[in-house]
Structures are given as C-alpha cells and as structure tokens.
Amino acid sequence: MRSIFDDARGGAPMDSRLALALAAVVALAVVTTGQLGLVIGAGAALCVIGTGLILAGLGRLIAPGTRWFVCLLFAATFASMADMIGGVAAPKIASAAGFYLPLTAVNCALAASWGAFEEGATPGRVLSGAVKKGVFCLAALTIVGCARELLGAGTLFGAALCAGFQPVRVIALAPGGFLIGGMALALACLIARRRAAKGGGKV
C-alpha cells in the first residue's frame, strides 16, 4: 500500500534543482524587496552550507534509517542560528521576514541534502554541492526580491530608479510572487532549452 505521503513526490520525476526551487518558493510570501531577498537568501545559504559541511564530515556515520531525521535536526539548528544572526545584523528586515527566515532555511537545507548520501558522494563533492546550492538560494531570492521591488514599487534597494514609473501593485502582493516565480522558472527553462539545442545535447 502506498503511503499518503508518497504522493507528495508527484507523477513526474523531480531533479535536485527543481526541489531546491520549490523549497525556496516559500520565501516569496515576504520577499517583496531586494533587501528581504538578500537577508532570507543569506540565511538559507548559511543553513545549506552548514548542513552540507556536517553531512560532508559525518554523512557516512549516520545510520540509513535516521538520515532524514538527522538532516532535519541539523537544518533546524542552523536555521535557528541564521534567525538569531539575522535578528542581530538586520533586526528590522529579520522582523519583517518573521518565521519565513528559519522556515525557508530549513526547507532549502533539506532540499539541498539531496544526493548527500548517494553512492560515490565524497565529502568534497557534498561540500562543493552545498556551497553551489547555497549561492543559488542567495542569488535566486535576491534577484526575485529585486524584480518584485522594481516592478511593484519602482525602487531598487529602497532607491527610486526613474520618476514617473507606474508600479504594478499586484506584483508586491501574494499573487505577484507566484506570477514572478512562474515567469522566472519559464525563462530559466527557455534558456536551458536554447543552450541544449545549441550544444546538441539533451534538454
């Protein structure tokens, strides 16, 4: 009998990048400015890299049946640390981010732990993969935050860019996050397809 939670995987096979993108989508609820994107992205990056560092060092010692639980424990610990650091370094932004900062960090760290226990995963590969995924989270959330701030308020990191710009208010609201996220993913997909077509590789 299938578990009800097995259905969460869906019909289509998922790759690690898609899992990471979906894990970071939760932050779109509050990432309406570049600053918020930067702070939440930095928290997620810290958590992803910290969890990756632990898994690179201790991954082989963790019993197979307890892996997801251990991953979650380390991810939540690093997320708490990121939350506390955010509260000290940027208290106003961390307060605006609320519980989304630790939640995004936990989600991204769990998604990034994909492949850490695969056959042939050396500590070096696990760590370099974690760094890449952490940087991806930071860059993706900052770019999406900047795009929403630019379109939704006509500013970038709080500075007005051009006078007379009519902001698209809906972009700063909840539906705007989905629309921007969907369009960004479609653009990434289009670029990947064009590249693959040029190189003659598989899409």
Partner 1 sequence: MPYRKAARGEGRRQGMSETIKIAALFIGCVFTDNIVFSRYLGENPAFAGPERIRASARLGAGVALVAAITSIAASALYYFVLIPLGIEFLKTVLFALLAALALWASGRVFRGERWGARFPAALHGLIAVISVALGLALFGIQSAEGFLHGALTGVFGGAGFFLAVVVMAGVRARVALSDVPQCLRGLPIGLISAGLISLAFMGFSGFFRSMTG
103 touches partner 1 by CB under 8 A = yes
Residue with tokens 């990121």: 82
User: Is the CB of residue 48 less than 8 Å from the CB of residue 137?
Assistant: yes
Name the one range near partner 1 by CB under 8 A: 48-56, 88-96, 97-105, 148-156. Answer: 97-105
Q: Closest approach of Cβ 135 to partner 1, in Å?
A: 20
Name the residue nearer to partner 1 (CB basis): 161 or 191.
191
Q: Closest approach of Cβ 138 to partner 1, in Å?
A: 19
Nearest to 130 by CA among 117, 114, 142: 114
Name the residue nearer to partner 1 (CB basis): 1 or 162.
1
C-alpha distances (whole Å) from 17 to each of 62, 113, 131 are 24, 12, 14
User: Is the CB of residue 171 less than 8 Å from the CB of residue 148?
Assistant: yes
33 touches partner 1 by CB under 8 A = no
107 touches partner 1 by CB under 8 A = yes
Binding-site member from 89, 98, 157, 161 for partner 1 (CB under 8 A) = 98
HSE value, Cβ hemisphere, 13 Å, CA-based, for 52: 27
DSSP assignment, residue 3? -
8 touches partner 1 by CB under 8 A = yes
Residue burial 77-110, b: 16+ Cβ < 10 Å; e: rest: bbbebbbebbeeebeebbebbeebbbbbbbbbbb
Give the footprint of partner 1 on this chain (CB under 8 A). Answer: 1, 3-12, 14, 18-19, 21-23, 25-29, 64-69, 72-73, 75-77, 79-80, 83-84, 98-99, 102-103, 106-107, 110-111, 113-114, 117-118, 170, 173-179, 181-183, 185-187, 189-190, 193
